[in-house]
Structure 1
């Protein structure tokens, strides 16, 4: 059954953070070198100055740990403080309990080190990213790597709640990010129940078992969104990853191209922005190598100098059109 898009948006409008707009930011370059504070500041400032749009002042992270350290806080935090960027924090949850303990240690260290300058910027804390997808039959077939069981994620969410109690981060929403297919799987209901919000990742480009051309992508995405809202038991649903590649292989009927990425932005991003908390994938793919497929709005090169690969303005009458006028 397809849930009403209007019903899904009505639920999204009830959230306090319904108009957050941002991108996803990895912790490393394609060489494996860790990003430093100056690198994150550069990216956060570039997101704020994108021509054709505005309001991209939030960042989603995947880990709390600075690359090359055991549990030092990621340098994206002082970069966010310096640039006024709000943060959807991420704690990696697919490497076992010892690794997760280091994620929590980094979170606690950041709270102690930066105080309210940091905690005031936290808009949510995601415990894990696509861990349930990776243990699903599809994830296993796609060699997606280690994941985490629902019981593990439920315990990790409780661990984070305990860690932030009586700190400046107390009361911040704690949730989990996963694919829409994981959220609508009833066997994962314990994770839904443990969350304050659900982060949904959905890519029609990769949905190769169904019609997935660019002409069907809007309907396919919002079917996934509505189904996730229907499985959320009234919890807020944030769009934590979506996008269309500018280059790469054809997946069933899905063709990667700049033109199709523009169409997807116009039909999906411009509908979401201003209505649902959205973290687009992505501002720029990891430098210096360009992955295949590539989802970057900006091509490789100077983030401040190179122009977006396609027009980011939104058609009149869409939710995103108001964003561009802010």
Structure 2
């Protein structure tokens, strides 16, 4: 396969993390608390067929108390590693608050927290939302590469001299945003790692049936590796929905979700690539308003440990 050499590089470069993405709220907007995060993290660790022991976050701020997000003590309690996220599309004042909560977490939880941190993501798909495609998709406010370069350097300065010093600081964006190098090359230079979000299901300008999904994904990933300037490339979001509309040739159903995990997911796991799957449970307590459901488990808290499809590799 075309991705063999990339997998060999990844396997020798670092030990892989395997986890899910976790929002700060449930699908109906209810804010998650420590017990909710703990329930999710423990269910992920105990899923039949595959144990997921890492969590990717999008913010450092607990929405209802304005304190440090309660995913941090939940991770400490459950032994879950963390790819931290700082929201970067709400302006400099909000980003300053994200950085302050990052330093607050260091001071509050010490090495019990910082030893779990795999890396720090400055933003998520912020540049995509400023592109013509993002604007046409009504994706919401974003941030330019120059703004994000400043934020990356701000975070590196904030953790210097702390127990987070030396942890990689990067940015997450869509594969086609990263490969627009006339726009993003400077941002890639500023980052220690590049996080890539890639969903063949949504790539409706391609022949994106489930039969082609694995090759589309690896073409996307390899394209980011090619422009990464030697930086590590982590898979921060991918998955296939089991509910939702047909996108060109891509059909959302359980069989296809299972196939995508068995082929693409297992190739990432076996290839030792840092991967945060989308997602453990995105339909609790209600189906997302988009109607597109990527959940690996069914509804309920704690999330069921028997997945909706086979996760073994």
* Alignment TM-score, normalising by the size of structure 1: 0.92
Q: Residue in 1 aligned with 2:201?
A: 205
Instruction: Using the TM superposition, give the Cα deviation of residue 34 of structure 1 relative to its aligned residue in structure 2, in angstroms.
Output: 1.1
Match for residue 46 of structure 2 among 43, 49, 56: 49
Q: Any conservation in 1 of the 2:58–2:87 contact (CA below 8 Å)? A: yes
* 2:17 counterpart of 1:25: no
* 2:126 counterpart of 1:126: no
Match for residue 111 of structure 1 among 106, 110, 119: 106
Instruction: Using the TM superposition, give the Cα deviation of residue 196 of structure 1 relative to its aligned residue in structure 2, in angstroms.
Output: 0.5
Match for residue 273 of structure 2 among 267, 272, 276: 276
Q: Any conservation in 1 of the 2:130–2:144 contact (CA below 8 Å)? A: yes
Distance 1:125 1:12 in 2: 19
Distance 2:65 2:13 in 1: 36
Instruction: Using the TM superposition, give the Cα deviation of residue 69 of structure 1 relative to its aligned residue in structure 2, in angstroms.
Output: 3.7
Distance 1:193 1:69 in 2: 36
Q: Any conservation in 2 of the 1:28–1:286 contact (CA below 8 Å)? A: no
Unpaired runs of at least 5, structure 2: none
Aligned residues: 309
| Aligned-partner SS, 1:273 | helix
Match for residue 12 of structure 1 among 10, 13, 22: 10
Distance 2:45 2:306 in 1: 14
Q: Any conservation in 2 of the 1:8–1:225 contact (CA below 8 Å)? A: no
Unpaired runs of at least 5, structure 1: 315-326
Q: Any conservation in 2 of the 1:299–1:306 contact (CA below 8 Å)? A: no
Sort the Cα spacing of 1:107 and 1:207 in 2 relative to 1 into closer, same or farther, 3 A. Answer: same
Distance 2:283 2:233 in 1: 27
Q: Residue in 2 aligned with 1:249?
A: 245
Q: Residue in 1 aligned with 2:310?
A: 311
Q: Residue in 2 aligned with 1:61?
A: 57
Q: Any conservation in 1 of the 2:297–2:303 contact (CA below 8 Å)? A: no
Instruction: Using the TM superposition, give the Cα deviation of residue 52 of structure 1 relative to its aligned residue in structure 2, in angstroms.
Output: 1.0
Distance 1:90 1:175 in 2: 10
| Aligned-partner SS, 2:309 | coil
Match for residue 223 of structure 1 among 191, 195, 219: 219
Instruction: Using the TM superposition, give the Cα deviation of residue 132 of structure 1 relative to its aligned residue in structure 2, in angstroms.
Output: 1.0
Instruction: Using the TM superposition, give the Cα deviation of residue 210 of structure 1 relative to its aligned residue in structure 2, in angstroms.
Output: 1.1
Q: Residue in 1 aligned with 2:299?
A: 300
Q: Any conservation in 1 of the 2:48–2:305 contact (CA below 8 Å)? A: no
Post-superposition CA distance 1:46-79 (Å, at most 9, x none):
000000122x110000000001244x21000000
Instruction: Using the TM superposition, give the Cα deviation of residue 220 of structure 1 relative to its aligned residue in structure 2, in angstroms.
Output: 0.3
Instruction: Using the TM superposition, give the Cα deviation of residue 286 of structure 1 relative to its aligned residue in structure 2, in angstroms.
Output: 4.4
Q: Any conservation in 2 of the 1:249–1:255 contact (CA below 8 Å)? A: yes
Post-superposition CA distance 1:69-119 (Å, at most 9, x none):
44x210000000001000000000000000000000100100000011100
Sort the Cα spacing of 1:114 and 1:67 in 2 relative to 1 into closer, same or farther, 3 A. Answer: same
More displaced stretch, 294-303 vs 168-177: 294-303
Distance 2:266 2:28 in 1: 33
